[in-house]
Structures are given as structure tokens and as C-alpha cells.
Structure 1
Amino acid sequence: MNLTYANNAITFLLALSFILLGVSFALGANPNTLIATFSFYALDSVLNTNTLGLLSGTAMIMLVVVTLLAHFKLIKPTSAFILALVVSILPLLTLLASNRWMTQLGGFPIIGSGQGIIKYFAVVPLYLFLFYKNKMSDKQHVLLNFIPVAMVLLWIGGMKFYDFEAKAIVGLVETSPFMSWLYSLFSVQGASNVIGGFDVLFALLLGAGILLNNKKLIIVSGLACLSVFLMTQTFLLSAPNAFSSSTLLARLGQFVIKDLWYVGNLIVIATLMLSKPAKHS
């Protein structure tokens, strides 16, 4: 994929995800997430949940607008980058709050509501690639885009080996036409172990492929990682309560749609790594 196609694809993924998230927050989806986030800044005592949702949604919709304007070179990219930074950093800082961690299950690296928050690590590297491609080396861009992919696959994938997470994904797996067969071969925990093992294995292999500049390994592991993030998008259609008639996306829908950012991260890695000469042994 050349740079033009990569830029177009990533811009589309960002615009689609943030417009859906923005509209759903503005319409009042997932108030518990808003309270958990803004209580960290003590804003929940100043503004009501509807106002917080409207502010969050408006910020995301504005991010879509300035991203598209910058993409078509109608404005400088600075405003898009700064707004993306704000939209990402505000939730990410709340990982410092105790309510994001499940201390009764060992604390780090077990996370609770932080599962959806860590996904915001994927956003800023995409904006750096889109608008500041020549300010950094290809190696730096690849590293910055690999880190969030590795983080979410290793962290959330590793959680699949715990009983609480194995039970939590039953509703997703058993309703999926692509994954429900796992329960006919494995127990609930066994199926979760297979899913987690897949995530962890191919995250590590992708890292190895990047380190060794091995195109075949990057392609195989990259496609495997891509399948994880594309599979989660099918949950929007197969799992109950992903959409809401009143807020467009429900809590599950908001959680799942963020995986489009990781598709973008993988596009950056493929674009920059597969255009390089392969390392010969």
C-alpha cells in the first residue's frame, strides 16, 4: 500500500470511528464511562452527565471535521493533532485512578474499565503518521504504531487466561458465527485460552518480524493481528446490545469501534515495512 492509499484509509477509519463515538456520547450513551473519566478531574461534581456527554461528543465530532480539513489541506494539521492529543490524553490519564484496576485480582496488569481506555494509545501515532510523516524516521513511526498494537494484544490477550475474563466474553463468542464453534471443542476457559494465546503469539511474532525486517513474518503475523481487530467489528452485528436506538452505539459498540484505530496502526506498519528491502540471511 502506498502512502496516499494509507493516508486515505487511516483518515477514513479515524473519521468513521470518531463520528460514531462522538454522536453516541452526545446522545447520552454510556454515562458510567463519562462519570468514571471526569470524576478523575472532579468535573462530575460541576457538570451533569448530559453536559459531559455533549462536550465529549462535540470534541470528537470536531476532531473529525478538522482531521478531514487537514487531510484535504484546507487547514494546517496543528489543530487536528492538538485536538487528537487532548481527546486521547484525557481518558488515558485516568489509568492512574484506582477504579480502572482490579486490585482484588492482582492489580497490574489486570485492568477493569481501563480495557477501553488503553485503546486511546493508538490514536496519536496515527496522527503523527498522517501529518508529520517527514518529521520522524520510518523506524520511529513503525515503533510508535507497533507499541499500541502489542500493548492491547498482550494485555487484553493475557487477561483471557483469567477466569473472570473468560466468562466476560461468553456473550460475544457464543453469538459470533465465526467463533461460537470454539465452545463445541473447548470449555469456556479453554476457548478463552485459545483466543488469548492467538493474540499474544502473533503480537510477539509481529514484533519479531519488525525487528528482523522479515517481510514474510510481518505479512503472516500482521494478517493474524488484523484478523483480531476485524473480528471484533463483527460483534457489532452479532452481539446483542452493540447498537442503541437512542444513542447509536451502546457500551459494547463504543468499546469495539475503537479497534478500527488498530487497523490503522497495522496499515502504517505494513506501508513502511513492506516497502523496505528484506533482510537476507
Structure 2
Amino acid sequence: MNLKHINNALTFLLLLSFLLLGVSFALGANPNTLTATFSFYGLDTLIGVNTLGLLTGSTMLALVATTLAAHLKLIKPTAALVLAIIISIVPLLTLFASNRRMEQLGGFPIIGSGQGIIKYFSILPIYLFLFCKSKLSDKQHVLLNFIPVAMVLLWIGGMKFYEFEAKAIVGLVETSPFMSWLYALFSVRGASNVIGGFDVLFAVLLGFGLFLNNKKLIIVSSLACLSVFLMTQTFLLSAPNAFSSNTLLERLGQFVIKDLWYIGNLIVIATLMIFKPAK
């Protein structure tokens, strides 16, 4: 497999995701997310939510421009790396905010905001692979890209065993042509347990496959993990009010678009552990 094609695919995923996210924030989508994030830094009282959205969206669009320029070797990748770090770290630090936690779960971060925030872990490993490939060994790149995949699958998979999360996904599952059959075989709670068990099982198996350097196990578990992130993309087509601005640019759209980064993480893992790319 040609390394240039792999880099092109990864860059496309980054450009597409941040273009969509940048536009949605700049247009004022999901103000509650902005308020919850920037209240941690005390900025919500100093800057209006519309301005915060414009700043956030502009930063993401600047990342699009610098990533494309660095990919085309028009500029050094420093600017893209710095912006990627900022965009990743700013929301991640808010996991420590009190408004992100559920006391009934021992302070565990809220399911919706927690899932959305931890997805920012997946950005930096992709950027390091694209622009700092020689700085790290293949094993280090694989580990860095595996950690966010395992983290989000264990997180969202584990939360599926709670009743409130089982009820929360009903609207998405029952309208999905690929998943609605689960409710014909299982209860709402049972279907959620099946989905959660799938996520957790293959995250663990992928870890074992990488540790044992078992190519067959890596292939099977990687494809299973990939199916999770591809499945979430179909929700943009099957969810209630699909194709509306509320679905594409508001909370669901922003949440689902971030899963493109995990597809990128899995591409890196497959590149280094299954394929041997030509320079």
C-alpha cells in the first residue's frame, strides 16, 4: 500500500471533519456545548456565546487551511500541530469541570458530554503520524492511535449497560435500517447490552492482537471496531429529521463527525501492523 495514498486519506478525514465542525460552530450551532466548555475557563462571562462560536469555528477552519498547506508542503507543519494541540486540549481539560460529572456514577463524566470530549484524544496521534512520522517508532505510533480507540469504545460500551444510556439511544437504534432488528430480539436494555458488549469485546481483542502481534486477530478486531464508527455515520441518514440542519450541524452531527478521527486511528494501526506501505 502506498504511503502517499494513506496520507491523502488521513488528511481528507481531518479536513472534512474540521471543515464541518468549524462551519457549524461559526454559524452558532450547539451554544450549550460552547457555554459548558468555556465556563471552565471563565470566558463565558467575558465573551458572548456567538463570539465564542465564531472563535471556535474560525480556529477549526484555520486548522483546515494549515493542515492542507502542510500536506501540500507549502508550509511547515508547525502551525497545524499547534492548532491541533489547542483544539484537542481545550475541551479535554474540561473533563475536570463539575458540570461534566454525574454524582450517581461516582463522579463519572456525563455520558453525552464525556463521550464528545474524549474524542479529542484521537486527533493528535493522527497529526503525529502525518507530520512527525520519523520522530516516533512504528510501535509508538500504533500505541498512540490504539489508546483513543480503546478509550472511547470501552467508555461508550461500558455506559451502554446503564439504563439511562439504553433509553437515550432508542431514537437512533429504532430508526436505523442496520440496527433496528435488535429490538425485535431483545428488550431496550438487552439491545443496549449487546451493543455495549460488542464495543468492549473488540476493543479488548484489538489490544490483545496488537500485544501478541497476531495479524488475524488484528484484522478481525480492527474491522469490528471500524464497523462501530462507520455505523455512527449512518445515523446522519437515518436519525429523525435526517438531512436537516439540526441533525447535520447541531449536537448529533458534531458528535458523529468526530468518529471520522477514529477511522483515521484505525487506518494508522492497519498501515503499520497489517500492511507494509511503500515509501
> For the superposition of Structure 1 and Structure 2, which TM-score range results when normalised by the shorter chain?
over 0.9
Shift of 1:113: 1.7
CA contact (8 A) 1:243 1:250 kept: no
Post-superposition shift, 1:114? 1.5
- Residues in 1 aligned to 2:96 and 2:205: alpha-carbon distance in whole angstroms: 30
- More deviation in 95-104 or 197-206? 95-104
Aligned counterpart, 1:32: 32
| Counterpart residue identity of residue 76, structure 2 | K
- Paired with 2:120 and 2:90, the residues of 1 have a C-alpha distance of 10
Count of aligned pairs between the two proteins: 276
Q: In the alignment, which residue of structure 2 is the partner of 1:52? A: 52
Aligned to 1:279: none
1:175 Cα offset (Å): 0.6
Which residue does the alignment assign to 2:265?
Answer: 265
> Does residue 9 of the first structure (1) align with residue 9 of the second (2)?
yes
Aligned pairs (5 A) from 1:1-281: 1-108=1-108, 111-241=111-241, 244-245=244-245, 249-275=249-275
TM-score (norm: length of structure 1): 0.95
Q: Secondary structure at the residue paired with 1:40?
A: helix
Superposed CA deviations along residues 90-138 of structure 1, whole A, max 9, x for unmatched, are 0000001011121123323664522100000000000000000000000
CA distance in 1, matches of 2:95, 2:274: 34
In 1, the alpha carbon distance for the partners of 2:223 and 2:246 equals 35
Q: Would the aligned equivalents of 1:99 and 1:113 in 2 still touch at CA under 8 Å? A: no
The alpha carbon displacement at 1:240 in A equals: 2.1
The 3 A distance-change label for structure 1 pair 123 and 264 is same
* SS of alignment partner, residue 113 of structure 1: helix
Is contact 2:95-2:109 (8 Å) kept?
no
Checking the alignment, whether the CA contact within 8 Å between 1:25 and 1:247 is kept in structure 2 is: no
Decide which moves more: 106-115 or 154-163. Answer: 106-115
Gaps of 5+ in 1: 277-281
CA contact (8 A) 2:236 2:247 kept: no
Q: Is the 8 A contact 1:242 1:251 kept in 2?
A: no
Q: CA RMSD in A?
A: 1.4
Q: Write out per-residue CA displacement over residues 176-219 of structure 1, whole angstroms, 9 at most, x where no aligned residue.
A: 00000000000000000000000000000111110011111010
2-structure distance, mates of 1:94, 1:112 = 13
CA contact (8 A) 2:70 2:77 kept: yes
Q: Distance in 1 between matches of 2:54 and 2:244?
A: 17
Write the deviation string for residues 51-94 of structure 1: whole angstroms up to 9, x where unpaired: 00000000001100000000010000011000000011000000
Instruction: Tell me the distance in 2 between the aligned counterparts of 1:241 and 1:79.
Output: 38
CA contact (8 A) 2:100 2:110 kept: no
Counterpart residue type for residue 172 of structure 2: L
Percentage of matched positions with identical amino acids: 81
Q: Which amino acid aligns with 1:199?
A: D
Amino acid at match of 1:181: W
Mapped to 1, the partners of 2:16 and 2:76 lie a distance apart of 21
Task: Read off the aligned partner of 2:108 and give its amino acid letter.
Answer: F
3-state secondary structure, aligned to 1:190: helix
Q: Which has the higher helix share?
A: 2
Task: Provide the rounded CA distance (Å) in 2 between the counterparts of 1:230 and 1:112.
Answer: 19
